[in-house]
């Protein structure tokens, strides 16, 4: 059994687990209208509300790994550092790995460098092209910890960190690692906002997943890192599924064949039936095509019996970190301090789309009346990449 021993997380809901859990259960969205990244366009974004000066320094890293993205990763690591250090001491540095997901890495540093170059014809002395490399977060974490196990990054859009967690479990199951630091990190930058804007996928208001009025996503940022091992803990990663429908570079297969395959794989690996799931964290981007596809798949497999919600109106869509953030919210809801099984609420305008199958979307302050025991979290990405994780409470 692979356990999720510790979690460190920062997102738009807060910079500590108690703050994040409190905001989640209260249904307080972390989205705020901002013009920092696109001055010409005011958009709601899910920014981490921590001044850059308060984030951990990266002076100990080579220039290629010095980025705000990696500082956010180190901030999440700091929350679990004692447990990670204990695992390294117990197993040895070569038996501890790092597998994370990202989509932006240090793109913001590249944007700042290009602005200076456009202004005065020189690049900043503190800029290195490799800051934008997707492998940088894993390298930065491994070097900071001094570990020698496998260290690599997944970058498969919105499924990146779910695939990273599945990879971490495989490393442990194969005997290559005894513990893995896994999750995702993604930071806001103009590139992603402008890119999704060009796709006409960004909403000018708080997103409304599964609403008849849904009109796009809100971009967010976050870092969420788990310490994963065979050491027994309250929550385990019971199963995972990965599939590709290869339908379109940005649009999902309308029938959800790949998405359904990933969920069924996760159920089989976990040894569970659809009836065993207590709650589903939906991918729920609030784009017309994603929600239409996901509602078909979830309704076909689970019907209306299982409570479900999209947490993206709370946090924003953190892209490569989204899966890990949502895994983190599920992990929080499965801890001992939630004996009544309070559910992450589904924030929307309450206007169902009659063209979509009906789902049981979790209402404000809804609870099961008992602890959550089995939870599914969906992640569906550009390029037809699909991933599903199932967590179990021990």
Q: Cα dist. 81→19, 74, 227 in Å?
A: 19, 9, 9
3-class DSSP string for the chain = CEEEEEEEEEECCECCHHHHHHHHHHCCCCCEEECCCCCCCCEEEECCCCCHHHCCCCCCCCHHHCCHHHHHHHHHHHHHHHHHHHHHHHHCHHHEEEEEECCCCCHHHHHHHHHHHHHHCCCCCCCCHHHHCCCHHHHHHHHHHCCCCCEEEECCHHHHHHHHHHHHHHHHHCCCCCEEEEEEEECCCHHHHHHHHHCCCECCCCCCCCECCCCCECEECEEEEEEEECCCCCEEEEEEEEEECCCCCCCCCCCCHHHHHHHHHHHHHHCCCHHHCCEEECCCCCCHHHHHHHHHHHHHHHCCCCEEECCHHHHCECHHHHHHHHHHHHHHHCCCCCCCCECCCCCCCCCECCCCCCCEECCCCCECCCCCCEEEEEEEEHHHEEEEEEEEEC
Residue with tokens 């703050």, as numbered in its chain: 19
Residues annotated catalytic, as ranges: 158, 283, 317
Which residues are registered as beta bridge partners of 228? 4, 180
Distance, in Å, from the CA atom of 317 to the CA atom of 282, rounded to the nearest integer, reads: 12
Q: What angle do CA 343, 347, 353 make, to 5 degrees?
A: 115
Distance, in Å, from the CA atom of 136 to the CA atom of 143, rounded to the nearest integer, reads: 10
């Amino acid at each position: 059994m692979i356990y999720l021993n510790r979690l460190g997380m920062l997102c738009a809901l807060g910079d500590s687990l108690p703050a994040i859990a409190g905001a989640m259960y209260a249904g307080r969205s972390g989205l705020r209208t901002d013009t920092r990244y696109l001055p010409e366009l005011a958009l709601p974004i899910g920014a981490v509300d921590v001044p850059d000066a308060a984030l951990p320094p990266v002076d100990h890293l080579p220039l290629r790994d010095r980025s705000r993205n990696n500082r956010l990763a180190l901030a999440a690591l700091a929350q679990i550092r004692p447990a990670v250090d204990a695992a390294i001491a117990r197993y040895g540095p070569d038996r501890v790995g790092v597998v994370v997901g990202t989509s932006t890495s240090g793109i913001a540093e590249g944007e700042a460098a290009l602005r200076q170059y456009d202004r005065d014809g020189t690049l900043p002395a503190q800029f290195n092209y490799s800051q934008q490399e997707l492998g940088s977060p894993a390298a930065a974490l491994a070097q900071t910890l001094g570990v020698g196990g496998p260290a690599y990054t997944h970058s498969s859009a919105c499924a990146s960190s779910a695939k990273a967690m599945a990879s971490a479990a495989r490393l442990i199951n194969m005997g290559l690692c005894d513990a893995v630091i896994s999750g995702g990190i993604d930071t806001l930058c103009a590139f992603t906002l402008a890119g999704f804007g060009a796709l006409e996928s960004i909403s000018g208001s708080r997103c409304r997943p599964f609403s008849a009025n849904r009109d796009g996503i809100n971009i967010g940022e976050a870092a969420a890192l788990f310490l994963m091992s065979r050491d027994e803990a309250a929550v385990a990663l019971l199963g995972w599924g990965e599939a590709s429908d290869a339908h379109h570079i940005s649009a999902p297969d309308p029938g959800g064949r790949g998405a359904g395959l990933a969920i069924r794989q996760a159920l089989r690996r976990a040894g569970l039936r659809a009836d065993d799931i207590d709650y589903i964290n939906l991918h729920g981007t609030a784009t017309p095509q994603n929600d239409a596809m996901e509602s078909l798949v979830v309704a076909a497999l689970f019907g209306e019996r299982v409570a479900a919600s999209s947490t993206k109106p709370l946090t924003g869509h953190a892209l490569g970190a989204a899966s890990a953030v949502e895994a983190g919210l599920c992990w929080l809801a499965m801890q001992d301090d939630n004996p009544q099984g309070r559910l992450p609420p589904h924030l929307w305008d309450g206007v169902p789309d009659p063209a979509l199958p009906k789902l049981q979307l979790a209402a404000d302050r809804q609870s099961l009346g008992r602890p959550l025991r089995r939870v599914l979290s969906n992640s569906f990405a550009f390029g037809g990449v699909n991933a599903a994780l199932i967590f179990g409470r021990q």
